[in-house]
Structures are given as structure tokens and as C-alpha cells.
Amino acid sequence: MPVTLDAVLARRELQLRLIWADDSARARAWGWVHSSDLADPTPFLSPGDALLTTGTQWASDDDIAPWVARLAEAGVPAVGFGTEVIRDGTPDALAEACAAHGIALLEVPYRTPFIAVARAVADLDAEERYARVRWTLETQRAIAVAALRPTGLAAVVAELARRIGAEAGIVGANGDVLGTTPPAAVLDEALGMLRAGRRAARAVDDWSLQTVGAATALTGVLAIGPGSPHDDAERAVVTSVVALAGLAGVADTDALVAEAAETAGRLAALRSAVQAALVASEPSPALAPAPRDPDDPAALVQPLLEHDALTGDDLIGTLGTWLRCDAVAEAAALRLGIHRHTVRARLRRAAELLERDLDAFPARAEVWTALQAIGRA
């Protein structure tokens, strides 16, 4: 959730006092906080910037209403008045003007410096950004795991809907839908996008539509219903789903089940073989690596297994721990009991051996799937 008035007021150490706010003003997002005693600070403000002032710019209270009107036009969500600097208490004219324009008004006591309010808002914003990044990583990992289930793409769509709190479905070219079927007007628009044969994204009746597949071979349209956040975190997750769906295509359920059963058999055989190989207490450099089967989903990590057997570096363990820690090197280092630089060095070596960019989610999802296959995720 973005930073709001209530979140700022909840910082008790600031000892702020609310003068006026209705429900709409409480819900408005704060992008940042500035302080200014200029007669017209709007050239230096962006929509969503709250403003702190001591009121030295007002020759009389008659100057307050025009000043607030300019702030309202600039999209300022809230004003904080620093009391006991120029005058005691908050001017009634300021309270009336803020209420008239729907701008929240709070009183900042003399003992609370404006910089403390700005720092509090910065901390709240950083906490929110971190929470959304963590949500993105956890959701992408859950979606990658869902792709391994027997229902495949249908499980991916269901997981997406659960994570974003909105209905979701993938519309195929023949009109079949995996997940929730959107309203008729939205469904018609999705089918029209497929007939046009061009990659596109648009909104219809609060539903978001995005084509799936290559521009020359569209396989479906991902439809997301009203109620989702529509922020950068969600967009990153949706991009992951579009990528997975583009690789899988929109297949019928029987085909998905048959393919999953075949894949499960290969994975079970591979897991048994790898676990048997790991029983040896000491890896021997003299062992020649087994020929790789490109059809095995776990063949991707075979270079890491061979490297670890020769060097004892444990790239596999480091990579698995790093992925479980949401790709945060510091957290992985703490869990492994090694320095973060060691973790990063091993990740760089793993990326070289895998020939994959581990900063990209599709590569991390692919590696996570392979590690799951060998029981090391």
C-alpha cells in the first residue's frame, strides 16, 4: 500500500495532530514531503507531494486561501503546519481552506523538526517498496512451482488470481478459457485482439488484456479482472505469467495432463539417479561426467553437479539457498554461514557454467525447476 496520512500519523514519535481530513483525504497517496515558506511553491512540487510550512509567507490570513488553492491544483494531498515558530496553533483560515479543497491538514509541534517528518515518510516508502519487491519474488516463485503441477497452465492462472486478489483467465483463439471467463464484452475484445494477430495490451470495462505468444503466433490473451493493484510489482508478475504462457501455449486439459505425466516420469527417474550418485562420501576427480540428456529438465544444472564434484565448491547448495532467500545474497550468506562476497562469487561462477543471466526471472525459474527435479531446491 502507498504511504498515506494514517500511516504518517501512526508514527507516534512525531506527535503530529490531525486538524482536518475526510475519508478521501486519508486515502490519498503521499509521494514525498517537502517544506517551503514560498508564496508559490508549486513549481517545485509534483502531484502527491505533501507540504510542510510555518506560514511566514502569509502577510495576513487573507493570503492563505489562494495559497491552498494553488496547492490543490498542484495535487498536494496534505499540509503540515509547524506551530510555535511564527504563531501558536494552526490558523482557522488554513483549516477552512484545506477542508474546502479536500487537502488533509495536520499540526507539527515545535519539538518535531520537519526533517523528521520527511525521514518518516521516506522510511515508510522504503518499507513499502521492499514489501512489494519481496511479494514479487515470492509470487514469481509460487507461479513457477505451479507450472510444475499436472494442470500446468491452469494452475499458473489460478495462482496468479489468488496472489493478486482478482479474477484471471487466458482466452484461447477458439474461445476456450483457462481460469475465469471474462464478461462477454471483454471476451469479444480478447478474441478480436487474437484475430488481429498483433501483440497488444488494452483495458476494457476495468479488465486488463494482454496478448500471449510471439507476434507471429499469438496463442491467447491473459485477462485480469478489476481489483488488482496494477503497480510495478504486479506488472512484473504478469510479465512472468505471459512468458510462461507463451512458452506453454494454450493447450487442452488432456494434453496438459498427458505431458505432465510424461514429464513426471522423467523427473522421477532423474531424481533417483542423481540421489544415488550423491551417496558417495567423497567425490572423485577421476570420474568422467555422464553424458547429458537434453530432454531431461534437470540437465541444465548438470554442469554445477560436475563442478561441485571436482572442486567441492557447493554451487548447487549456494544457488538453492539463494533462490529460497528470494535472490537476496545477504540473506543467503547468513543462512549458509559464509560471507556475502563468497555467495556472489559462487553465483557468478554458476551463471557462467549455466550460461544463464540469473538476474532475470525466467532464468531463475528455469534453474529452480531443475533444482526441484533433483531434490535440491
- pLDDT tens-digit series, residues 140-162: 888 888 888 877 888 889 999 99
Query: 48-80 burial by CB neighbour count: b if 16+ within 10 A, else e?
Result: bbbbbbbbebbeeeeebeebbeebbebebbbbb
pLDDT greater at residue 238 or residue 91: 91
| The pLDDT value given to residue 150 | 79
**Does residue 67 have a pLDDT over 90?**
yes
Tell me how far CA of residue 324 lies from CA of 40, 147, 328, 335, in angstroms: 51, 17, 9, 10
Euclidean distance between CA atoms 106 and 17, whole angstroms = 5
Which ranges in the chain are annotated with CATH 1.10.10? Answer: 254-373
Which ranges in the chain are annotated with CATH 3.40.1390.20? Answer: 5-123
Name the strands in the sheet holding 201-204, side by side, starting at the edge strand that comes first in the sequence.
177-179, 168-171, 217-224, 207-214, 201-204
**Does residue 20 have a pLDDT over 50?**
yes
Q: What is the mean pLDDT of residues 321-343?
A: 87
Per cent of the chain over pLDDT 70 is 85
Residues 6 or more apart from 238 whose CB is under 8 A from it?
A: 160, 210, 222, 224
Query: CA dihedral in degrees (291, 296, 297, 298; nearest 10)?
Result: -40
Euclidean distance between CA atoms 326 and 133, whole angstroms = 9
| The pLDDT value given to residue 299 | 81
Euclidean distance between CA atoms 110 and 70, whole angstroms = 26
Which ranges in the chain are annotated with CATH 3.30.450.30? Answer: 147-251
Q: What is the CATH number of domain 5-123?
A: 3.40.1390.20
Q: What is the mean pLDDT of residues 164-179?
A: 89
DSSP 103: -
Q: What is the CATH number of domain 147-251?
A: 3.30.450.30
- What CATH class has 254-373? mainly alpha
Confidence of residue 266 (pLDDT cuts 50, 70, 90): low
Confidence of residue 324 (pLDDT cuts 50, 70, 90): confident
Phi and psi at residue 340, to the nearest 5°: -65, -30
* Ranges 3-17, 223-237, 308-322: which has the least confidence: 223-237
* Ranges 14-23, 112-121, 262-271, 341-350: which has the least confidence: 262-271
Summary mean pLDDT of the chain: 85
Euclidean distance between CA atoms 95 and 93, whole angstroms = 5
Tell me how far CA of residue 258 lies from CA of 148, 149, 254, 295, in angstroms: 13, 12, 6, 16
